[in-house]
């Protein structure tokens, strides 16, 4: 209508350190263009300490950001910063979303639903048993997602046994010694790698899948490279697989809907654009 003031673009972003590698700005930009929303989603590098995180979040709120996704190393900082937190964020002990209001911020964890929905794309019935490699913040979210999917026999293993024991105690999980991980593959329905092993620039994940039932699902939350050695081996043996890109796309949906107010569809076209970007960066 003539004379109406111009709409203020919606502002959101992703905070982490480092953060330049993030594909989240591409995901949100594609969705915004699809639904005709004027908005900007910006990567924000925040030094890896809580005080700097607080200053950055206060500044973003002050300039009118609707919210931010939060990635390593700030997920626990985000939960601490928030005045309110969802039950899933509390259970995970970490948040990957902050939604801002005038005087507060709400923390949520969409990593949990993101992983669950990525698994459900591959199978409606993932089974009852799982082995999770790793015991960091990502593993906590994966464990909660597996529980939401109905898996009841979840086992955890980690290179540092004490961390595995801490996670096992928190979620009532069986703890497996890292050196005995191969012996645990038999009768496992879902295998998930949440460690950095196999990621570009990191040591390989040494895991012989010959003892794993061919019907088992194999997931790796890494997306650089897109197909890790674990996923390549799994595919060669006929396993259904879930890569880190699937989880990344699905976990982005709640934030876009919350901050931009539009529909966010995870489809082949979105995935294709992200794969192109990974190839451009030499990380596919």
What DSSP string describes the chain?
Answer: -TTPPPPPPEEEEEEESS-TT--HHHHHHHHHHHHT--EEEEEEE--SSHHHHHHHHHHHHHTT--EEEE-TT-HHHHHHH-SEE-HHHHHHT--SEEEE-SS-EEEE--HHHHHHHHHHHH-S---SEEEEE--SHHHHHHHHHHHHTT--EEEEEESSHHHHHHHHHHHT-EEEEGGGTGGG-TT-SEEEE-SSTTSTTS------GGGS-TT-EEEE---SSSS-HHHHHHHHTT-EEE-HHHHHHHHHHHHHHHHT-S-----HHHHHHHHHHHHHTT--
Say whether both 148 and 220 belong to one domain. yes
Percent of the chain with pLDDT over 90: 84
Strand 67-70 relative to strand 217-220: parallel, antiparallel, unpaired?
Answer: unpaired
Task: State the Cα–Cα distance between residues 170 and 177, nearest whole angstrom.
Answer: 17
Structural domain containing residue 35: 10-109+249-280
Q: In the structure encoding, which two tokens stand for residue 130, read together? A: 């799982």
pLDDT digits (tens, 9 = 90+) for 217-269: 999 998 888 899 999 999 999 999 999 999 999 999 999 999 999 999 999 99
Q: Is 33 a member of any domain?
A: yes
pLDDT score of 1: 45
Q: Is 2 a member of any domain?
A: no
pLDDT digits (tens, 9 = 90+) for 157-206: 999 999 999 999 999 999 999 999 999 999 899 999 999 898 888 899 99
Say whether both 161 and 90 belong to one domain. no
Q: Is 4 a member of any domain?
A: no
Which pTM does this prediction carry?
Answer: 0.90
Say whether both 201 and 272 belong to one domain. no
Q: Is 170 a member of any domain?
A: yes
Say whether both 84 and 135 belong to one domain. no
Q: Round the average pLDDT of the chain to a whole number and report it.
A: 93
CATH number for the domain spanning 219: value is 3.40.50.720
**Cα-based distances in Å from 107 to 49, 76, 98, 141, 188:** 18, 10, 5, 14, 33
Q: Is 224 a member of any domain?
A: yes
Strand 67-70 relative to strand 97-100: parallel, antiparallel, unpaired?
Answer: antiparallel
Say whether both 22 and 64 belong to one domain. yes
Q: Determine contact, residues 270/249, Cβ cutoff 8 Å.
A: yes
What is the number of structural domains in the chain?
A: 2
Instruction: Look at residue 284 and tell me whether its pLDDT is greater than 90.
Output: no
pLDDT score of 4: 52
Q: Is 134 a member of any domain?
A: yes
Say whether both 168 and 140 belong to one domain. yes
Say whether both 184 and 98 belong to one domain. no
**Positive/negative CA dihedral, 269, 265, 262, 43:** negative
pLDDT score of 173: 96
> Which of these is catalytic: 75, 122, 165, 279?
75
CATH number for the domain spanning 257: value is 3.40.50.10860
Task: State the Cα–Cα distance between residues 193 and 230, nearest whole angstrom.
Answer: 9
Q: Is 1 a member of any domain?
A: no
Say whether both 181 and 97 belong to one domain. no
- What strand order describes the sheet that includes 10-16? 39-45, 10-16, 67-70, 97-100, 105-108, 84-85
What are the backbone angles phi and psi of residue 182, rounded to the nearest 5°? -65, -35
Say whether both 213 and 119 belong to one domain. yes
Say whether both 120 and 49 belong to one domain. no
Say whether both 81 and 40 belong to one domain. yes
Q: Is 128 a member of any domain?
A: yes
Say whether both 142 and 41 belong to one domain. no
Angle between helices 24-35 and 268-280 (to 10 degrees): 140
Could you confirm whether 75 is annotated as catalytic?
A: yes
pLDDT score of 85: 97
pLDDT score of 200: 82
pLDDT digits (tens, 9 = 90+) for 88-126: 999 999 999 999 998 899 999 999 999 999 999 999 899
Which of 200, 209, 204, 203 is closest to 181 using CA atoms? 209
Task: State the Cα–Cα distance between residues 159 and 181, nearest whole angstrom.
Answer: 10
pLDDT digits (tens, 9 = 90+) for 18-66: 998 899 999 999 999 999 999 999 999 999 999 999 999 999 999 999 9
């Amino acid at each position: 209508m003539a004379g109406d003031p111009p709409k203020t673009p919606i502002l959101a972003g992703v905070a982490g350190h480092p953060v330049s590698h993030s594909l989240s700005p591409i995901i949100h930009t594609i969705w915004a263009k699809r639904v005709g929303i004027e908005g900007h989603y910006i990567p924000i590098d925040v030094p890896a300490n809580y005080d700097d995180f607080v200053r950055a979040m206060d500044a973003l709120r002050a300039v009118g950001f609707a919210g931010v996704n939060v990635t390593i190393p700030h997920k626990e900082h985000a939960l601490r910063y928030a005045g309110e937190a969802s039950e899933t964020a509390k259970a995970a002990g970490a948040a990957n979303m902050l939604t801002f209001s005038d005087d507060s911020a709400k923390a949520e964890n969409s990593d949990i639903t993101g992983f669950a929905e990525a698994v459900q794309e591959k199978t409606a019935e993932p089974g009852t048993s799982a082995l999770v490699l790793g015991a960091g913040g990502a593993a906590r979210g994966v464990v909660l997602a597996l529980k939401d999917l109905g898996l009841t026999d979840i086992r955890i293993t980690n290179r540092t046994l004490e961390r595995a024991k801490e996670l096992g105690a928190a979620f009532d999980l069986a703890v497996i010694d890292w050196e005995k991980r191969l012996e645990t593959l038999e009768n496992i329905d879902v295998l998930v790698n949440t460690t950095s092993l196999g990621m570009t620039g990191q040591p390989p994940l040494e895991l012989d899948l010959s003892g794993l039932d061919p019907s088992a699902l194999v997931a790796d939350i890494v997306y650089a490279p897109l197909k890790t050695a674990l996923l390549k081996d799994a595919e060669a043996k006929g396993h259904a697989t879930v890569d880190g890109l699937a989880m990344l796309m699905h976990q982005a949906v709640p934030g876009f809907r919350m901050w931009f107010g539009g529909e966010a569809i995870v489809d082949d076209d979105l995935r294709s654009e992200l794969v192109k970007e990974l190839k451009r960066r030499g990380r596919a």
